[in-house]
Chain A
């Protein structure tokens, strides 16, 4: 159907009268005990708490050096053979590539990869940074862009993000409003909240069903 015809049908129909409903009851929306609504005191502490509650691993580190040691230590202890990472300035500064290679871990950088599927699909660890982190929910805000492959955070079974602590925002609303003000959105924007999970089988939690089952976030001071 042509666009004009399709829209004309809808335009025609929306011109009828409107019906005003009765107001839905608030009973189940205003639970008696409101104790659960809580303020976000220290955003970093709250972020870590939320992430842990989802089964993720979070840590606040004193600087890039500590972050690097964490990443290298994780790769070593998990027996990783290949790590794939974003090609961004911050991860250059992290300087983990050298120590990783020394530890016998191959490092693939998201830049002119022959076949990204093959590389990311084979990688044991994906490493990225994040645009923002949301305290209220323990979420990472990931933007796609040059050097910032989506697959890094989705194909490897373990995913690590290194995020400067000043990139924390408090709430989901705050994060969405921030993007609402932008003129142009990235092709892919993702609020990534904890390990991949499914409750499809008897509501029992299964992690890492398709995406990473292990998520580590380092908040760097």
Chain B
């Protein structure tokens, strides 16, 4: 099994440790991992802002970079960026048959991290151990477009020492929404605060997600408001070397 890593730009630049954990988990499963170094950003910020032409430019770059590699799957530690490639590249190219064919061919092989572990490798138990009481936040693209909701939670339930609890209105968006978080900051933050109130009510000390962007937003608000909640990407929970670095 050969996998090409798709590391979203903000993971690359802001939280590379998530990418490192993804790599380690995949490696521990005997997967051959390559990282196409020409990758940059999938284009979602432009797309979500309505700049479709610019987003198409980014999409073509992505397809060039990954089209030049040999792989069985592309794996990405973000439900949102996965959706951008698997669902919204075909949407962007719906009237451009040549691009569309390429987008569908690569898009069909892009898998979100937990989706890949569970549905491709058939692995949900990684011998991970983490003390705490956790809630899982499912990013909206992952929940609604990808429909990968149960898999990460099953994986988390197998983590020794970790108690996964439900939380109020867990289907609600965290308020990130890409450029929405900057264009409509007050509403975006009110949405985050709603999540944080639910988190407090649940009594959890740990927040886990498969979407680093939701975590960036929620952690940013948690930190600003003085909450001491531990915020982790699923890959960091499963990382076989966690605790030894960082």
Q: Do chains A and B touch in the complex (CB under 8 A)?
A: yes
Chain A residues in contact with chain B, CB under 8 A? Answer: 22, 25, 27
Listed from nearest, the 4 A-B pairs whose CB atoms lie closest are: A25-B144, A25-B147, A27-B144, A27-B147
Q: Bound state CA distance, A27 and B91, in angstroms?
A: 22
The count of residues in chain B whose C-beta lies closer than 8 Å to any C-beta of chain A is 7
Q: For the complex formed, measure the closest distance between the CB of A125 and the CB atoms of chain B, giving whole angstroms.
A: 46
Chain B residues in contact with chain A, CB under 8 A? Answer: 87, 91, 143-145, 147, 149
Contacting pair B143 A22 (CB below 8 A): no
Q: Bound state CA distance, A22 and B147, in angstroms?
A: 14
Q: Bound state CA distance, A145 and B203, in angstroms?
A: 63
Cβ–Cβ < 8 Å partners of B149 in chain A: 27
* Interface majority SS (helix, strand, loop, mixed), chain A: loop
Q: Bound state CA distance, A166 and B147, in angstroms?
A: 47
Closest to B144 in A: A25
Cβ–Cβ < 8 Å partners of B147 in chain A: 25, 27
Closest to A25 in B: B144
Q: Bound state CA distance, A27 and B145, in angstroms?
A: 10
Q: Bound state CA distance, A94 and B100, in angstroms?
A: 73
Q: For the complex formed, measure the closest distance between the CB of B5 and the CB atoms of chain A, giving whole angstroms.
A: 27
Cβ–Cβ < 8 Å partners of B144 in chain A: 25, 27
Q: Bound state CA distance, A25 and B83, in angstroms?
A: 14
Q: For the complex formed, measure the closest distance between the CB of B90 and the CB atoms of chain A, giving whole angstroms.
A: 9
Q: Bound state CA distance, A27 and B87, in angstroms?
A: 18
Q: Bound state CA distance, A27 and B147, in angstroms?
A: 8
Q: Bound state CA distance, A22 and B83, in angstroms?
A: 13
Q: For the complex formed, measure the closest distance between the CB of A129 and the CB atoms of chain B, giving whole angstroms.
A: 47
Q: Bound state CA distance, A22 and B91, in angstroms?
A: 9
Cβ–Cβ < 8 Å partners of B145 in chain A: 25
6 more A-B contacts (CB under 8 A) besides A22-B91, A25-B144, A25-B145? Answer: A22-B87, A25-B147, A27-B143, A27-B144, A27-B147, A27-B149
What are 9 A-B contacts with C-beta separation under 8 Å?
A: A22-B87, A22-B91, A25-B144, A25-B145, A25-B147, A27-B143, A27-B144, A27-B147, A27-B149
Q: Bound state CA distance, A22 and B143, in angstroms?
A: 15
Closest to A26 in B: B147
Cβ–Cβ < 8 Å partners of A27 in chain B: 143-144, 147, 149
Q: For the complex formed, measure the closest distance between the CB of A94 and the CB atoms of chain B, giving whole angstroms.
A: 53
Closest to B91 in A: A22
Q: For the complex formed, measure the closest distance between the CB of B137 and the CB atoms of chain A, giving whole angstroms.
A: 16
Q: Bound state CA distance, A25 and B146, in angstroms?
A: 9
Q: Bound state CA distance, A193 and B147, in angstroms?
A: 38
Q: Bound state CA distance, A27 and B144, in angstroms?
A: 8
Cβ–Cβ < 8 Å partners of A22 in chain B: 87, 91
Q: Bound state CA distance, A25 and B149, in angstroms?
A: 12
Q: Bound state CA distance, A27 and B150, in angstroms?
A: 12
Cβ–Cβ < 8 Å partners of B87 in chain A: 22
Q: For the complex formed, measure the closest distance between the CB of A153 and the CB atoms of chain B, giving whole angstroms.
A: 41
Q: Bound state CA distance, A4 and B91, in angstroms?
A: 37
Q: Bound state CA distance, A42 and B25, in angstroms?
A: 58
Cβ–Cβ < 8 Å partners of B143 in chain A: 27
Q: Bound state CA distance, A22 and B149, in angstroms?
A: 19
Closest to B145 in A: A25
Q: Bound state CA distance, A21 and B87, in angstroms?
A: 12
